[in-house]
Amino acid sequence: MAGNQPIAITPLGQAPPSKGGATGNGMPMQWLTTRVDDFVNWARGNSLWPLTYGTACCGIEVMSVISSHYDLARFGAEVIRFSPRQADLLIVAGTVVDKLGPVLKTVYQQMPDPKWVVAMGACAASGGFYRAYHVMQGIDEIIPVDVYVPGCPPTPEGLIYGILELKKRIERGETRPQIATREWAARNAAREATREATREAVRESVRV
Amino acid sequence: MSDSEVKSGLEAAGEADEAAALPEPVTARLLKAELGTAVIGTSMAFGDLAIQIRREALVSAARQCRDHPELQYDYLMDVGAVDHLGRTPRFEMVYNLYSLRFRHRVRLHVQIPEEDPTVDSLIDLWSAADWFEREAWDLMGIRFRGHPRLVRILTHAEFVGHALRKDYHPAERHRLSRTYDLFTEDQAGAPPDGASSG
């Protein structure tokens, strides 16, 4: 279970907390005490690899966000991937028609876990002003969504806010795939405990 | 064909408000002469000539427009279907023709009854009619006799109904369950000629 405590990193240049920690080369030693879960979440939140999925004008705003002026690289999410196999953040930027639905679902399924989805703009979030026969009324009809960014299209600042919000939640371990993983691990542990108890009972019976 | 006749046709197409005062446009006069009662009526609006054609005579009228040396409408610019819900006949097909040689335009109008929304395909005259007619089938449910592959072109393969009909509810949708190969897999096409319209 990942906690909410921040990661403790000793500031640069500070003396090592104990004699035993000295490196022997005169350099102060750096310390980092945390839990693996927190560390992994921190790394994941700061290195999102977005997959482009621009189908309308929102795609223009995504291009703006990853370009130098708004510079998504400041938040570690600049490695735009063009293969779902290499991405963990799907930014659905634009209108998704029913005809495109199976393709979007396939792309999502091809992404390795853990993976997150941002529904950018009114169309991806709700169908927008296309209340009509051909447009999906929000991509959450077919794939789960972690963050909805409103707007038509949203401003670059809006998308950055959405990604930062997702980053925060990833670092706290609150997102859907992280919760699912923890629940899976808990179920596994419970099952293993039951098995171990059974094995122990068998061993007891043999000893007698 | 004399230059003066061409000129009178061009003038008629260019002067909307004086249409009534001008001599009858060349296209209207020639089509009436060639087709007789198949031409129901002609009208001018904003400098554009519109001709009402009987449904049975559409192909012969279109062929005259394309092949007559004084008309030479060689360019099928657009094909539209109109749903006049509540009117009889309910549907109407509109063919926009243009002559690159004479630079004049004409619209051919054909009335289509709701109980038998069928009309002859113009694909043999203009190959551009292919996608236009598929679109009219897809969104308005007009069937085109003689079209070699009358399947949906814009909506997906599992779509039911014709979305631009006035009585199609805007919130009615049809999910697509999987992807389809556009070229090899069977799509939902028009029923064969003679089958009841759906």
CATH of the domain at B167: 3.30.460.80
Lowest mean pLDDT among A63-67, A112-116, A187-191, B168-172: B168-172
Confidence (pLDDT) at B31: 86
Choice among A28-32, A112-116, B24-28, B168-172 with the minimum mean pLDDT: A28-32
**C-beta atoms of B174 and A106 within 8 A:** no
Instruction: Indicate whether B78 belongs to any domain.
Output: yes
Confidence of residue A94 (pLDDT cuts 50, 70, 90): very high
Q: Is residue B14, in this structure, part of any structural domain at all?
A: no
Does this model's pTM top 0.90? My answer is no
Q: Which of B125, B126, B153, B123 is nearest to B138 (CA)?
A: B153
Distance CA A44, CA A71 (A): 19
Q: Give A161 or B31, the one with higher predicted confidence.
A: A161
For the stretch A146-158, pLDDT in tens is 999 999 999 999 9
In a domain, B156, yes or no: yes
Residue B129 lies in a domain: yes
B171 to chain A nearest CA, in Å? 6
> Quick check: B176 and A106 CB within 8 A?
no
Interhelix angle A58-66/A156-171, rounded to 10 degrees, is 70
- Rounded Cα–Cα distance for residues A43 and A100 (Å): 33
Which parts of chain B sit beneath pLDDT 50?
1-3, 5-20, 194-198
Which runs of consecutive H residues, i.e. helices, occur in B15-157? Answer: 26-35, 58-67, 129-140
The mean pLDDT of chain A is: 86
**Domain count along chain B:** 1
pLDDT of res. B136? 95
Element (H, E) at A204: helix A176-207
Name the residue among B170, B178, B179 with its Cβ closest to that of A133: B170
β pairing state of B118-120 and A89-93: unpaired
Please report, rounded to a whole number, the percentage of residues in chain A having pLDDT higher than 70.
Answer: 84
Yes or no, beta carbons of A132 and B168 under 8 Å apart: no
Shortest distance between the Cα of A60 and any Cα of chain B, in A, equals: 25
Q: Is B116 part of any domain?
A: yes
pLDDT tens per residue, range B145-181: 999 888 888 888 888 899 999 999 988 888 888 888 7
Q: Does B46 touch chain A (CB under 8 A)?
A: no
- pLDDT at residue B116 in the model: 92
Q: What integer is the mean pLDDT of A127-136? A: 90
- Would you say A119 and A139 are in contact if contact means Cβ atoms under 8 Å apart? yes
Residue B3 domain-assigned (yes or no):
no
Residue B6: inside a domain, yes or no?
no
HEC assignment per residue over A1-38: CCCCCCCEECCCCCCCCCHHHCCCCCCCCCCEECCHHH
Report yes or no on B7 lying in a domain: no
| Contact residues on chain B for A141, CB-CB shorter than 8 A | 175
Quote the pLDDT of residue A15.
52
**Cβ of A102 and B179 within 8 Å?**
yes
Q: Is A106 on the interface with B (CB under 8 A)?
A: yes
Of the CA atoms within 13 Å of residue A2, those in its CB half-sphere come to 23
Query: Domain range for residue B151?
Result: 24-194
Mean pLDDT of A115-129: 93
Q: What is the mean pLDDT of residues A185-190?
A: 92
Stronger pLDDT, A130 or A18, i.e. the higher one: A130
